[in-house]
């Protein structure tokens, strides 16, 4: 809201950040672990007086120089460029908070460059002791870069006591700092071992090749083994909500975890095979490429998980993914978002500009994570099953229902404008306030009553009331409670509301049984999956099976929240699903 | 629409603004010097390919070896000032960055290609044969295009009046081409860079390459010719640039702001002095005066920015919550880093020469 948005509907910013970040993560960790690998391998060559190993180390250094200094250095700059484009507000906050951390990192970057140049260009031209010392300087500087960036990245996930005191060191040495530092260090050593594998297979000297493959394998295996408990330590210090997401409440993390598990297993298996078994057949280029891919899969899933565990924030508990500060939400809800946003043309929602204002709200609140008809997290596909009324309700509790989505920030009229844009604007749906198509009573209730009391509150109050009693009460609401204003509406509207309220406690009594199921489905299921997704999955299921599944949705898929509806509601929902899916009775 | 209403709120600083301004003005000229040497080296190497004489061929090979180092240090030394610009002007810079997002991101692939090509030019110089000339020309053009993208961002961030274009074109495809100062400013920058770059080549030739007298002489001659003629041209371009500036900004250098006026005077004096020394081929003396000249030019550039932003933004008004320990930490790391770098470079004196 403070900044303009780079609008590339097909790609979306998130995907671009992910692409650049993942590439950089591999190379930058390799730059750290590889530093240690080079010095240790050189030491091995010196101790064993082995010229073929020394020649290998020199060749590996050239590859290392070209990969880490050019590609690693520039993709690091690229991350900075792209985050300032996609998350300018968050970048500004991080830069301002940690400027001297970044500045110190720049010094280590400079030392790294000089050390690597000197190390590479003086191979065989400098005494061993000094050359080794230069190598150690390189590794030290590279590891210090990791140390510094680690503090800042982990701050984004767990700001810790910085939230209260805004102290640099409190933010830097945050709760995940140490486990993450160890984990990343072992990861970087593991990657170095895997890269070592790759380059070693190109060695022509048989003896040297086997020696270096064995050496690299032990490197990778030990680092891999040590990375697992530190990864566990990392997860154990996460705050509850983030751990909940890591534990499966986030669908994207669930996918990443599967990739990680398979990669880890494949990596361990192939590495052990390479080192121990059948040296002639197993130690091939294809096998080392599998190792690389598995190592990257393992590391990539970790990074993906870390990013996703922060949602809905870009800086946990401070700033949402869309750049809105958590502390501003209440104020903006009162004053209105558009009035507070700098980069909008519609400062107020009117009948004439509703869709256009909704588009601006979308741009500033949703586009940070959603593309429009694009590759990743397409908003059109995600919202196609929701109508205007359901969308409004969804937006009102979006963060409560799905923790990883940021709350809608703004006043009620703005929320309607966004709902209008998402349904009528993007999905060409009619702009009627009926919550579920065909259930006018529910829609009218949402509009006229729900601001003070939702159906959940009202339901026990009117338990046992006949429809007529409810209908009569609607004619004279202040008699029930002097704080309630009269409901002045046409008779037909009042009838519809009475029908709806009666159906809350008597789902089977009116034609609304089907409507109730439809409404419940729209409210609770459609935000994640419509029938197009569900139908093939439940096709052939009996009503009993569906009804049982509704009791424990998280058992079906850990990303699904359990459904908290009453038994009657679950019955109605199961009825509706079985009918729609054409399943067996 | 009032463009001032679009300016994002600046975040609070974590030290007095003077620290960031000091660090910015300290490190930016270092980046310029490395960048100048990089562009000058590429241009000289290209010119050498056009000359059939043996010393020029050898010189281009020597320059090819130096080019990847210069690219590396230009990038590294660019990180520090860009960081401090982020701190002082981040809210303006990020805005213009979003407006020209596509071009801004293009800097990265352009640099990666140029950097790898520079390495190919170095490592495969002989193998490339005749095509080496085109390789270094492409490197030069790519690196100069990065400068053009930077010129656009640096001018757009100080011109909020150009920002409302985002509402019609939000895809990151805007440049600041309508700004009458843009092209002349870019030309001024590039001419100055290539001039100083020529001087750097002359310095490199007459020191590091002095063991090969013919090559050293070729480098010195070519480098100093580039320096003197481009600096002479620069006097004209500089005046033209000054004239295209908005009146309020221009008048800062004409007596309205004593510091800016003093800087202009010092700049003119140093430019004339370096020209005189340059025509006499006094490389070291010219370099000693050019370093302060680059600093003076950077300060003038900063004054232009302050002038442009006067109606919109005053960095001295940004709130600051001072915390000393991170600043001290950085300064300690900086000193230690410099010591380690000097130690490593000192070890180069003892390396064995290889044929």
Inter-residue contact A245 to A309 (CB < 8 Å): yes
> If you search the block for the tokens 């990680």, which residue do you land on?
A260
Q: Which residues in chain A are closer than 8 Å to B351, comparing Cβ atoms?
A: 122, 125-126
Is the predicted pLDDT of residue A243 greater than 90, yes or no?
A: no
pLDDT score at A513: 52
Residue B341 lies in a domain: no
Q: Give per-residue pLDDT as tens, A26-39.
A: 899 989 999 999 99
Share of chain A above pLDDT 70, in %: 92
Residues A106, B79: C-beta atoms closer than 8 Å: yes
Least confident of A571-575, B116-120, B211-215: A571-575
Residue B7 lies in a domain: no
State how far the Cα of A2 lies from the Cα of A340, in Å rounded to an integer.
Answer: 9
**A260 Cβ neighbours under 8 A, 6+ residues apart:** A297, A298, A301, A302, A305
Kind and range of the H or E run holding A82:
helix A73-86
Q: Which of the 8 DSSP states describes residue A506?
A: -
Residue B297 lies in a domain: yes
The string of DSSP codes covering B244-260 is HS-HHHHHIIIIISHHH
Inter-CA distances, B87 with A315, A446, B26, B92, Å = 18, 47, 15, 10
Inter-CA distances, B86 with A99, A155, A171, A422, B82, Å = 9, 19, 20, 35, 6
Helix ranges (H only) for chain B are 17-50, 54-99, 101-123, 125-128, 132-156, 182-207, 213-244, 247-251, 258-279, 283-309, 324-347
For A307-318, b where at least 16 C-beta lie within 10 A, e where not — what string? bbbbbbbbbbeb
Burial of A477 from C-beta contacts in 10 A (0-12 / 13-18 / 19+): middle
Least confident of A186-190, A526-530, B299-303: A526-530
Residue A439: helix, strand or coil by DSSP? strand
State how far the Cα of B29 lies from the Cα of B40, in Å rounded to an integer.
Answer: 16
Backbone φ and ψ for A481, nearest 5 degrees, come out as: -155, 120
State how far the Cα of B188 lies from the Cα of B66, in Å rounded to an integer.
Answer: 25
On whether the pTM is more than 0.90, the answer is no
* Complex ipTM value: 0.96
Please report the sign of the dihedral spanned by the C-alpha atoms of residue A360, residue A366, residue A372, residue A373: negative
Residue A127: helix, strand or coil by DSSP? coil
pLDDT score at B92: 97
> Which pair of structure tokens corresponds to residue A134?
């230069």
Inter-residue contact A187 to A146 (CB < 8 Å): no
Kind and range of the H or E run holding A319:
strand A319-320
Domains of chain A, with CATH numbers?
13-320 (1.20.1630), 331-427 (1.10.760.10), 441-495 (no CATH), 507-585 (no CATH)
* Total residue count of chain B as it appears in this document: 355
Residue A384: helix, strand or coil by DSSP? coil
Inter-residue contact A260 to A233 (CB < 8 Å): no
B14: closest CA of chain A, how far (Å): 7
Report residue A512's pLDDT band, with 50, 70 and 90 as the boundaries: low
Q: Give per-residue pLDDT as tens, A344-376.
A: 999 999 989 999 999 999 999 999 989 999 888
pLDDT score at A270: 76
Q: CA-nearest residue of chain B to A104?
A: B330
Average pLDDT over residues A488-497: 79
Residue B21 lies in a domain: yes
> Which pair of structure tokens corresponds to residue B88?
């002082």
State how far the Cα of A326 lies from the Cα of A337, in Å rounded to an integer.
Answer: 13
Residue A298: helix, strand or coil by DSSP? helix
3-state DSSP percent of chain A in helix, strand and coil, to 5 = 70, 0, 25
Number of CB atoms found within 10 A of residue A507's CB: 21
Q: CA-nearest residue of chain B to A360?
A: B167
> Which pair of structure tokens corresponds to residue B78?
């660019």
Residues A69, B8: C-beta atoms closer than 8 Å: no
pLDDT score at A360: 97
State how far the Cα of A6 lies from the Cα of A86, in Å rounded to an integer.
Answer: 7
Residue B13: helix, strand or coil by DSSP? strand
Inter-residue contact A388 to A431 (CB < 8 Å): yes
State how far the Cα of B180 lies from the Cα of B189, in Å rounded to an integer.
Answer: 15
Residue A310: helix, strand or coil by DSSP? coil
Residue B207 lies in a domain: yes
Residues A99, B163: C-beta atoms closer than 8 Å: no
> Which pair of structure tokens corresponds to residue B349?
């004196």
Residue B192 lies in a domain: yes
**A574 Cβ neighbours under 8 A, 6+ residues apart:** A517, A543, A546, A547, A550
pLDDT score at A296: 82
Greater pLDDT, A19 or A133: A133
Domain count, chain B: 1
Query: Which of these, B4, B127, B7, B1, lies nearest to B64 by C-alpha position?
Result: B127
Kind and range of the H or E run holding A313:
strand A313-315
> Which pair of structure tokens corresponds to residue B95?
């805005």
A117: closest CA of chain B, how far (Å): 8
CATH number for position B296:
1.20.1630
Residue B348 lies in a domain: no
Residue B355 lies in a domain: no
Residues A169, B325: C-beta atoms closer than 8 Å: yes
Q: CA-nearest residue of chain B to A116?
A: B344
A12: closest CA of chain B, how far (Å): 11
Q: Give per-residue pLDDT as tens, A167-186.
A: 999 999 999 999 999 999 99
pLDDT averaged over chain B? 95
A566: closest CA of chain B, how far (Å): 47
Inter-residue contact A441 to A388 (CB < 8 Å): no
Q: Which residues in chain B are closer than 8 Å to A8, comparing Cβ atoms?
A: 101, 171-172
State how far the Cα of A267 lies from the Cα of A293, in Å rounded to an integer.
Answer: 9
Q: Which residues in chain A are closer than 8 Å to B162, comparing Cβ atoms?
A: none
State how far the Cα of A482 lies from the Cα of A497, in Å rounded to an integer.
Answer: 20
State how far the Cα of A107 lies from the Cα of B278, in Å rounded to an integer.
Answer: 34
Query: Which of these, B212, B215, B211, lies nearest to B223 by C-alpha position?
Result: B215
Is the predicted pLDDT of residue A254 greater than 70, yes or no?
A: no
Residue B95 domain boundaries:
14-325
Average pLDDT over residues B55-68: 96
Least confident of A263-277, A465-479, A494-508, B245-259: A263-277
């Amino acid at each position: 809201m403070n900044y303009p948005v780079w609008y590339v509907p097909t790609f979306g910013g998130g995907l671009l950040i992910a692409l650049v970040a993942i590439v950089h993560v591999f190379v930058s960790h390799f730059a750290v672990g590889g530093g240690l690998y080079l010095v240790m391998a050189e030491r091995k060559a010196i101790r064993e007086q082995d010229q073929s190993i020394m020649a290998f180390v020199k060749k590996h250094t050239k590859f290392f120089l070209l990969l880490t200094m050019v590609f690693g250095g520039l993709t690091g700059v690229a991350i900075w460029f792209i985050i300032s484009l996609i998350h300018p507000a968050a970048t500004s906050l991080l830069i301002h908070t940690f400027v001297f951390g970044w500045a110190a990192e720049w010094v280590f970057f400079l030392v790294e460059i000089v050390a690597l140049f000197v190390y590479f260009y003086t191979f065989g031209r400098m005494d061993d002791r000094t050359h080794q010392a230069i190598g150690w300087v390189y590794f030290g500087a590279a590891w210090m870069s990791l140390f510094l960036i680690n503090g800042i990245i982990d701050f984004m996930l767990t700001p810790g006591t910085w939230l209260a005191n805004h102290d640099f060191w409190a933010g830097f040495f945050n709760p995940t700092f140490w486990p993450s530092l160890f984990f990343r260090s072992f990861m970087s050593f593991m990657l170095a071992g895997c890269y070592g594998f790759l380059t070693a297979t190109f060695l022509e000297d048989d003896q040297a090749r086997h020696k270096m493959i064995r050496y690299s394998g032990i490197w990778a295996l030990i680092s891999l083994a040590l990375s697992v408990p530190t990864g566990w330590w990392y997860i154990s210090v996460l705050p509850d909500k983030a751990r909940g997401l890591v534990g499966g409440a986030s669908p994207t993390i669930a996918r990443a975890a599967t990739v990680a598990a398979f990669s880890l297993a494949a990596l361990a298996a192939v590495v052990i095979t390479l080192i121990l078994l059948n040296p002639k057949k197993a130690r091939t280029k294809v096998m080392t490429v599998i190792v690389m891919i598995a190592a990257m899969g393992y590391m990539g899933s970790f990074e993906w998980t870390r990013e996703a565990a922060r949602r809905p924030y870009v800086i946990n508990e401070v700033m949402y993914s869309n750049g809105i500060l958590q502390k501003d939400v209440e104020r903006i809800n009162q004053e209105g978002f558009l009035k507070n946003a700098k980069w909008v043309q519609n400062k107020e929602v009117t009948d004439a500009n509703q869709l256009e204002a909704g588009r601006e709200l979308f741009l500033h609140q949703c586009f940070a994570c959603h593309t429009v008809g694009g590759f990743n997290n397409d908003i059109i596909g995600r919202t196609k099953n929701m109508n205007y009324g359901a969308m409004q309700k969804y937006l009102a509790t979006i963060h409560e229902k799905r923790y990883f989505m940021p709350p809608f920030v703004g006043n009620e009229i703005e929320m309607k404008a966004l709902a209008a844009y998402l349904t009528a604007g993007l999905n060409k749906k009619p702009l009627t306030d009926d919550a579920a198509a065909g259930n006018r009573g529910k829609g009218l209730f949402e509009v006229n009553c729900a601001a003070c009391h939702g159906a959940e509150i009202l339901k026990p109050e009117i338990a046992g009331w006949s429809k007529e009693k409810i209908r009569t009460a609607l004619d004279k609401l202040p008699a029930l409670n002097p704080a309630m204003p009269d409901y002045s509406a046409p008779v037909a509207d009042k009838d519809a509301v009475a029908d709806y309220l009666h159906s809350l406690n008597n789902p089977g009594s009116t034609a609304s049984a089907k409507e109730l199921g439809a409404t419940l489905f729209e409210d609770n299921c459609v935000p994640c999956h419509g029938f197009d997704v569900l139908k093939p999955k439940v096709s052939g299921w009996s009503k009993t099976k569906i009804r049982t599944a509704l009791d424990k949705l998280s058992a079906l898929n850990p990303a699904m929240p359990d459904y908290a509806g009453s038994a009657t509601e679950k019955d109605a929902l199961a009825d509706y699903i079985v009918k729609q899916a054409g399943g067996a009775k | 629409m009032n463009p001032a209403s679009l300016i994002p709120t600046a975040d609070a600083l974590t030290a007095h603004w003077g620290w960031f301004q000091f660090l910015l003005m300290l490190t930016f000229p270092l980046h310029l010097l490395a960048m100048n040497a990089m562009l000058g080296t590429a241009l000289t190497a290209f010119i050498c390919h056009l000359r059939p004489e043996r010393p020029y061929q050898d010189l281009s090979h020597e320059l090819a070896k130096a080019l990847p180092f210069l690219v590396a240090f230009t990038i590294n030394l660019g990180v520090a000032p860009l960081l401090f610009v982020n701190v002082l002007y981040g809210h303006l810079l990020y805005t213009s960055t979003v407006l020209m997002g596509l071009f801004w991101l293009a800097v990265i692939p352009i640099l990666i290609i140029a950097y790898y090509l520079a390495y190919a030019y170095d490592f495969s110089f002989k193998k490339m044969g005749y095509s080496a000339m085109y390789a270094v020309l492409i490197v030069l053009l790519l690196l100069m295009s990065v400068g053009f993208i930077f010129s656009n961002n640096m001018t757009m961030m100080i011109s909020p009046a150009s920002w409302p274009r985002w509402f019609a074109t939000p895809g990151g495809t805007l440049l600041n081409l309508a700004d009458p100062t843009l092209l002349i400013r870019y030309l001024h920058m590039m001419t100055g860079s290539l001039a100083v770059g020529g001087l750097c080549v002359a310095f490199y030739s007459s020191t590091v390459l002095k063991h090969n007298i013919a090559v050293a002489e070729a480098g010195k001659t070519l480098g100093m010719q580039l320096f003197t003629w481009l600096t002479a041209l620069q006097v004209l371009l500089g005046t033209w640039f000054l004239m295209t500036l908005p009146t309020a900004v221009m008048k800062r250098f004409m007596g309205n702001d004593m510091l800016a006026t003093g800087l202009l005077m010092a700049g003119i004096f140093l430019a004339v002095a370096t020209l005189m020394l340059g025509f006499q081929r006094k490389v070291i003396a010219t370099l000693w005066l050019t370093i302060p000249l680059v600093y003076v030019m950077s300060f003038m550039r900063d004054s232009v920015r302050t002038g442009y932003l006067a109606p919109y933004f005053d960095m001295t008004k940004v709130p600051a919550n001072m915390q000393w320990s991170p600043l001290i930490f950085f300064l300690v790391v900086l000193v230690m880093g410099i010591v380690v770098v000097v130690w490593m470079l000192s070890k180069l004196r003892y390396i064995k020469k290889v044929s």
